[in-house]
Structure 1
């Protein structure tokens, strides 16, 4: 078998040339990694943060309408004389506690099968609707809103009319 003389030097020369070439290339791009990180961070972090804030506001509105509808239906099912006024107060308080204007919410009360809820055993449904504007968009409250609606259904006690 024949051996080549100096073959170790050739490999060392190639490796040295490759290392110099890579070193020169990395020297030319020195400091651009931090700029790329900042650019990419701004491009990604701002939309993610905005989406998080928007989703939190939607969840807050969903919790408010859900709590308002549930408490309003519970109060109305009792059938007391001041139940309607008390239910409106409960709904307004639930909305106000979650930062939603109670005057902007729409409340709908339905009874089935009788629309007047006079018969024991009817089911009472309270629906609370509101609209959530997108955050940090001035003037968006009129044209760019997301509707949120919750309903709660409770049966009236069948035996409440009995002595």
Structure 2
């Protein structure tokens, strides 16, 4: 008796489809995640620059901090990152505590993060967000207007 040969026509197509799905879905997720992190990085960088400029143009440190926070949040919203957390920190080179003195350097640090998209709920026990931060330094001019 001769053994019967099994007909394998069409099996290559099925194998190609399954391998395509198994390899393509993770690749698409990685690409989308990289684009989301890059979008967040651009948003945080723009927020640091805008907050630094707003702080430097304010009349005093308290108003500067309020303006820096407001402008940073608005910049993130404009970039489509309105759900990102925001932390603004301002430091300056003057030891006297007044950042608006003549030759001070104002440094604004923005810290935020972005959640990875399409992350399965079953795997959310671990870290699912990507931390982002940016720093921008603004020099205050040597000649500034004194008083009101």
| TM-score normalised to structure 2 length | 0.79
Question: Are 2:51 and 1:72 aligned?
Answer: yes
Aligned pairs (5 A) from 1:23-102: 28-81=7-60, 82-97=63-78, 98-101=80-83
Q: Which residue in the other structure is 1:149 paired with?
A: 133
Structure 1 residue 99, shift from structure 2 partner? 2.2
How many residues of Structure 1 are paired with residues of Structure 2 in the alignment? 137
1:154 is paired with a residue whose SS is strand
Closer, same or farther: CA 140–35 of 1 in aligned 2, 3 Å: same
Gaps of 5+ in 1: 1-24
| TM-score normalised to structure 1 length | 0.73
Gaps of 5+ in 2: none
| Counterpart Cα distance in 2 of 1:129 and 1:142 | 21
Structure 1 residue 141, shift from structure 2 partner? 9.0
Higher relative contact order, structure no. (Cα contacts within 8 Å, ≥ 6 residues apart):
2
Kindly report structure 1 stretches of 4+ aligned residues shifted beyond 6 Å.
Answer: none
RMSD, matched Cα:
2.6
Structure 1 residue 101, shift from structure 2 partner? 2.8
| Counterpart Cα distance in 1 of 2:47 and 2:126 | 24
Question: Are 2:84 and 1:117 aligned?
Answer: no
| Counterpart Cα distance in 1 of 2:105 and 2:125 | 35
Which is richer in helix?
A: 1
